[in-house]
Chains A and B, each alone.
Chain A
Amino acid sequence: MAENQRILVCAGTGCASSGALPIIDVLNDEIKRQGLEKTVSVVGTGCQGFCEKGPTLVIEPQQILYTRVTEEDVAEIIEKELIKGERVERLLLVDQATQKPVSSMEDIRFFAKQHRIVLHNCGVIDPKKIEEYTARDGYKGIVKALKGMSPEEVMEEVKKSGLRGRGGAGFPTGLKWGFCRQTPSDKKYIICNADEGDPGAFMDRSVLEGDPHSVIEGMLIGAYAIGADEGYVYCRAEYPLAIKHLGIAIKQAEEAGYLGNNILGSGFDFHLKIFEGAGAFVCGEETALMASIEGKRGMPRVRPPFPAVSGLWGKPTNINNVETWSNIPHILRNGAEWYGQFGTEKSKGTKIFALTGKVNNTGLVEVPMGTTLREIIFDIGDGIQGGKKFKAVQIGGPSGGCLPEDMLDLAVDYDTLTQAGAMVGSGGLVIMDETTCMVDIARYFLNFSKKESCGKCTPCREGTTRMYEILDRITKGEGKEEDLDTLENLAITIKETSLCGLGQFAPSPILATLKYFRHEYEAHIHDHKCPAHNCTALLSYSIDVEKCKMCSLCAKNCPTNCISGDKKTNTPYVIDEEKCIKCGTCIEKCKFGAVTRA
């Protein structure tokens, strides 16, 4: 039995909602019962990334990952792993390619190709303890800056690193800081944008939950370089755990002298507050975000003036998102050259992606910029669920675009993806298989965008609703010949005339699907067929008389009694299409494959 073992239980929002928190209690009780409390400690960590297999726990130092753990498994894990040094085979991950269980994290494909810089502490430390952060070189970046670097040198280092904004647009961070630094003012602000609102993206939440001090340290370094003495973290109220952990971290940092006046005796002052957003997607747009902090309705305004000139309360303000801030301490600690070795020529460092959809391994993955989509989806993600065929990947949330199979070898970086009609955006990666209808997917994203439009500018307010209505009609089989031209003209106009990013990128899912999957639109409109057999209104069910054994199971289970037939009189079973609600029950019930869907 190894000495000083740690059991790292993922207590991030994903695993907590699948029951991780009671597991921690049961583990502690069991360890006490076995008298192991001196050599074994249990740590509730932030997100370990492997959300789909949660609750997960890792035994250290052996680096053994257990997945989908329940309270009932605890006694067995302690008995075998901690006392006998054996594995609990049934809780190990099964590799989809080899169909064999893998125990060590090094051998797990999900982790093997990742390179964790921002997630360096996530899932490893207890985010509620500042000493665990400092034990892993935490706050060394700000110490280095304050003790030996001028603000200009700090800015230069960040510029040299090539770091670009992780909020989506990829603007060079050092350059952005420079604009704010150059504006003369008696007061400057910095803001951390934690209003992560894209459906399917949760990396900012995980970083705040799992490693909040890294964000604070990044902001401290930024404030020093820019000359700001006050900062806000604008975090959506839907992230209670992130807000809680960040609140604890701010308090600890204040007590430790990293936040407040005269930090570490340097004469540099910095105060940090949390501002809870009220749930509007548009408040992730920087001018709307600032309006919201000022107590106004969260609506974007035209730029210029840019926030670097006139931002929060009219003062020069610099806004970066969580992931960007979290990169900064690593750059300061290890230097720009070290950082520059990761990524591509124009997109340096790593990027966290939230891998979701029809892929075997879903969760948070951090990879060097330039990794191909294929590597992310088929190596880290371990391929498509149920052995189905890959169809498309939606990159960058509702503002991004869908890319088809022949673009899987694209290297993921800002410029390549934008050129292809998608965007890095928030880093959401939604994987779709052959059963996904691309018109329906565009409709889904437009439904999101139309609900989240703030209503200020005409094209976005009125146009997103009209685009949605056209898509909705097409998926119901009511598409018209002229719809595609109307849709395309509308989408391009909205893209080119909307006030903020929400409107400018709201048509992206349509433009990308029209570009790569136009035939699916045409099939809906011209043939009244949904090639993915997804759009209910376009499906028709029929019974193959040859295969039908007249067992009557379909008829008995049909909720609308639309199937009739009789074995005694040898009347074949038929479906009354008028009454059929296309629920698919008959297909599920038929044991002979006699019911077909077209």
Chain B
Amino acid sequence: MEWLTLTIDGREVSVPKGTTVLDACRMNNIPIPTLCHAPELTSAGACRLCVVQIEGMRNLPPSCVTQATQGMKVETQNPKVRNARKVILELLVANHPLDCMTCQKMGDCSLAEYAYDYGVTGEVYQGEKRNLPIDSGNPFILRDQNKCILCGKCIKACSEIQGKSILDFSHRGFDTQVGPAFNLPYNESDCDFCGSCVSVCPVGALVEKQMVGKGRPWEVSKVQTTCPFCGVGCNFDLNVKDGKVIGVTSNPDAPVNGKALCVKGRFGMDMIYSDNRVTTPLIRKDGVLVPAEWDEALDLIATKLGEIKKTYGPNSIAALSSAHCTNEENYLMQKFMRAVIGTNNIDHCART
């Protein structure tokens, strides 16, 4: 691998060829604020918060889309750069509701974090503010466009992670919005509710509806786990407060799925506390399902299957396995049917 050396804030650093200035900074623990950048998405270079000063370059280039080159001299914190970032943050805050106290994103909001860091007051630019309706017509995602900073990450997540491309910009300039075609609410659009958009939103414009009011980021412990819904093996973080799961958030380090999840994994974990959940085996006695011990249930199945096989032959028995199970469990199921029962009558709900 070819390496190059550049100077960042007077410090010489070496990075592999092909590294952006932003990554070069982050590899070396030099903080750069970003709003529209996400490592799993292509870079738009749109929010302009990551601007830096580079010797010999016109204007202040955005570090996220500028390639590091040999001998490059970068300044990330000089007064000119910090002033430009502050102006950009003031502009964003001037068109953003300041209801942080009641915002679900409080404590996890990139805009708030940078605004604090750069001493933004929210008072420099007084003028027009958006006043758009809140989209709460679906059970999963709460969408408040007034909080949207138009970073465009949700659009990219929808097209680049989920492959649905239901989101895009509409209107122009100050009136620009993000939404499904014709600005329909999510539940009237083609949205699958995978929630990838929520997982990348840096502010409170897109939040998990079921977690609203249930806990603040600092009250919640995150427990990485594997999704029980199917055999893919997606990982995510259970958000636990006071011993109770209040919801699910993406774990960017999940080895199988990254931030991607499906609607069940991200929004279906309330099934844990469902009254309809079956927690013990049930045996029908005199027409009524009665809770039983595992041993009793397994004994009953073994006996019944043995009797059927003996009376009607192995091909009178069939098994349908489930996508809920892991590959290993499904393998065992077919092995059991073929080797123990002696039939090829084995199928799977996700076969087609």
Contact = CB atoms under 8 A, between A and B. Distances in A.
Interface of A: 280, 297, 299, 301-302, 304, 450-459, 461-466, 469, 486, 489-490, 493, 495-499, 504
Interface stretch (B83-91, B225-233, B235-243, B254-262): B83-91
23 contacts: A299-B169, A301-B45, A302-B43, A302-B62, A302-B65, A450-B173, A454-B172, A454-B176, A456-B169, A457-B45, A457-B47, A457-B48, A458-B49, A458-B92, A461-B150, A462-B91, A462-B95, A465-B127, A469-B128, A490-B87, A496-B51, A497-B62, A499-B48
B84 A451 contact: no
Indicate the size class of the contact surface on chain B.
35 or more
A486 B121 CA distance: 14
A487 to B, nearest CB: 11
B124 interface: yes
> Interface SS of chain B: helix, strand, loop or mixed?
loop
A489 B83 contact: yes
A455 B179 CA distance: 14
Given A465-B174, A469-B128, A493-B84, A459 B91 contact: yes
Given A462-B174, A504-B59, A498 B48 contact: yes
B44 A456 contact: yes
Contacts of B150: 455-456, 458, 461
User: Counting chain B CB atoms within 10 Å of each CB, which of A299, A455, A489, A498 scores highest?
Assistant: A455
Contact of A450 (B94, B126, B174): B174
A490 B90 CA distance: 10
A458 B84 CA distance: 11
Contacts of A299: 169
A497 B174 contact: no
Nearest to B43: A302
Contact of A469 (B59, B65, B127): B127
A458 B49 CA distance: 9
A459 to B, nearest CB: 6
A457 B46 contact: yes
B125 interface: yes
A37 B83 CA distance: 73
B18 to A, nearest CB: 13
A457 B88 CA distance: 10
A465 B172 contact: no
User: Counting chain B CB atoms within 10 Å of each CB, which of A454, A463, A464, A486 scores highest?
Assistant: A463
Interface of B: 43-49, 51, 59-60, 62, 65, 67, 83-84, 87-88, 91-92, 94-95, 124-128, 149-150, 152, 168-169, 171-176
Q: Which 7 A-B pairs have the closest CB atoms?
A: A455-B176, A462-B91, A453-B173, A302-B45, A469-B127, A493-B87, A465-B174
A452 B175 CA distance: 11
Contacts of B171: 455
Given A297-B169, A455-B169, A457-B47, A466 B59 contact: no
A497 B84 contact: yes
A224 B35 CA distance: 45
A263 to B, nearest CB: 40
A453 B174 contact: yes
Nearest to B127: A469
Nearest to B59: A496
A297 B175 CA distance: 15
Contacts of B51: 496-497
A76 B46 CA distance: 63
A458 B174 contact: no
A486 B127 CA distance: 14
A455 B172 contact: yes
Given A499-B48, A504-B59, A493 B88 contact: yes
Contacts of A457: 45-48
Contact of A499 (B45, B67, B83): B45
B152 A497 contact: no
A452 B84 contact: no
A280 B171 CA distance: 11
Contact of A459 (B48, B125, B126, B128): B48
Contacts of B46: 456-458, 499
Contacts of A465: 127-128, 173-174
Contacts of B83: 489, 493
A511 to B, nearest CB: 14
A476 B16 CA distance: 56
B88 A458 contact: yes
Contacts of B176: 454-456, 461
Contacts of A454: 172-173, 176
A455 B173 contact: yes
Contacts of B65: 302
Contacts of B152: 456
